[in-house]
A and B are shown apart, each in its own frame.
Chain A
């Protein structure tokens, strides 16, 4: 036992030495390798981000020869009183949270199923990835065909089960449009969650599960004390990423409902798109972008802090 640890320590020092010598060797010319990638990244991603924040403090408009003025916080002041934007902002927050929660629950369940020895596993595995591969525009077209009130299958299914509401126009009805879009959003978000959680589940050593079984842990207890801790870290990361992606998502809803009916699905990304490319108010739209970025950061902050506190307690 002792000699084994010593061996490990020795290995470690050798590793370190090697790393040092190799680092010297690579540092010489390697900067040049990074340049072709970093020049476009800086020009079209770092600089635009900085410029975007700067634009939020100007009155820039779309015209080619428009000379922007620096107007300090005027855009933000105007934004504070813009009830339409805050309406859209609320929708965005509710959408991001509910979509993330729903896709997490559905994806987690699917990962648990895929981790067992069942029939139809191959089929389920393939199907579970389809939403990831499909273009968002096609997803929107596909669901609008499926939810078509006249020729979609929903009507037939509802009639068959003798359920009321078969005639609902799911994407155009005031009450159903938003929940329907959330469901579709969750459908799109599931695969990444399923794949990542499945990878974590398969990383649990079989011996631990066996040991828990021998110790008499019930299925619920095994889930609570073995499975959940093993997927905790990846779940935290997935929730954080999904909140960001969903809050900023555009294509799916743009094609599905274009924000309708009556603004029920008017996400902030759509709002900013209209403000900048329909009305040409670049400065004002950039201020909205800044508010959205701050909102995402705030949501992440709240979530990650709560998660950290839980970790400390347990």
Chain B
């Protein structure tokens, strides 16, 4: 009786496992195989998961589409510059928040949390006006400035978490030996922070690469649009007809995200928890 019960619950568990695997993985697999189907095959009403004939032309169609590669380049530039600048600014500030006076540190972390809460709908208008006053509307520089600000709270939170987890002994030893605080940061703290910095900066890259809302508001001309803007526009116009190329473009745009995320996912969880536990 008991073994029967256990067997039954094991079966149910694996039904759930398979259900989750399908729910999570199937949409992505379907998108990929759609990207390999010919226009003819996509006209028929009875579709199979595996394409009847692999049709790689979808990829050359979407890659030669005016604007896709250009927008991918825009996205890459925006994401890289945002990543570098955010990291450079966040390291000393995250360090200061972690080690500075309690009141200051509390106020800073408080603001970091608040900034995650308030609706974008509320700040987007003044932000738009501020960027407009700087004549940076429809410019990737304006987008970079906004992305740095969007990413900073999270980057600060992560770096702060990593700094807090470093024991202060080393820094004190450095101070006793007469090293300046800049020297301490550079020669003692920085080397220990490297894994955390990599995780934080890659996450910044990922957020900027994926971002849509600010790009939609701040970018107006097609030659400055980022990859998500380009694909969203493509889906709205010809995408319903050119389903194969649409799927191909969507698949290509996901690859960098998946690679970057794969590299950082373990570090990410660690950093979030370090920040949360040692408040």
Contact = CB atoms under 8 A, between A and B. Distances in A.
Interface in B132-176: 132, 145-146, 148-149, 152-153, 156, 168-169, 171-172, 175
Given A127-B21, A137-B212, A142-B250, A29 B182 contact: yes
B25 interface: yes
B6 to A, nearest CB: 11
Interface of B: prevailing SS? helix
Nearest to A300: B117
A269 B119 contact: yes
A314 interface: no
A20 to B, nearest CB: 11
Interface residues of B, number: 99
Point out which of B169, B216, B272 has the most chain A C-beta atoms below 10 A from its C-beta: B216
Contacts of B27: 142-143, 146, 187
A244 B113 CA distance: 12
B123 A134 contact: no
Interface in B162-200: 168-169, 171-172, 175, 180-182, 185
Contacts of A142: 27-28, 30-31, 250
Nearest to A241: B116
A19 B168 contact: yes
A23 B96 CA distance: 11
Contacts of A21: 172
A199 B265 CA distance: 13
A189 interface: no
A130 B28 contact: yes
Nearest to B249: A141
A241 B45 CA distance: 42
Nearest to A31: B96
A296 B117 contact: yes
A41 B232 CA distance: 29
A53 B122 contact: yes
B49 to A, nearest CB: 7
A27 B250 contact: no
Interface residues of A, number: 97
A137 B258 contact: no
**6 A-B pairs with least C-beta separation:** A289-B122, A37-B93, A133-B261, A33-B92, A135-B210, A51-B126
26 contacts: A19-B168, A26-B100, A35-B93, A36-B93, A40-B152, A41-B111, A51-B129, A64-B132, A113-B13, A113-B17, A124-B20, A132-B261, A133-B206, A135-B211, A135-B228, A137-B210, A141-B250, A146-B26, A151-B42, A153-B49, A156-B46, A254-B212, A255-B212, A269-B119, A272-B121, A276-B124
Given A18-B169, A44-B127, A109-B20, 5 more contacts: A22-B171, A34-B104, A120-B21, A145-B34, A272-B121
Interface of A: 18-19, 21-23, 25-31, 33-38, 40-41, 43-49, 51-53, 55, 60, 64, 106, 109-110, 113, 116, 118-120, 123-124, 127-138, 140-146, 148, 150-153, 155-156, 187, 190, 195-196, 199, 241, 244, 247-248, 250-251, 254-255, 268-269, 272-273, 276-277, 282, 285-286, 288-290, 292-293, 296
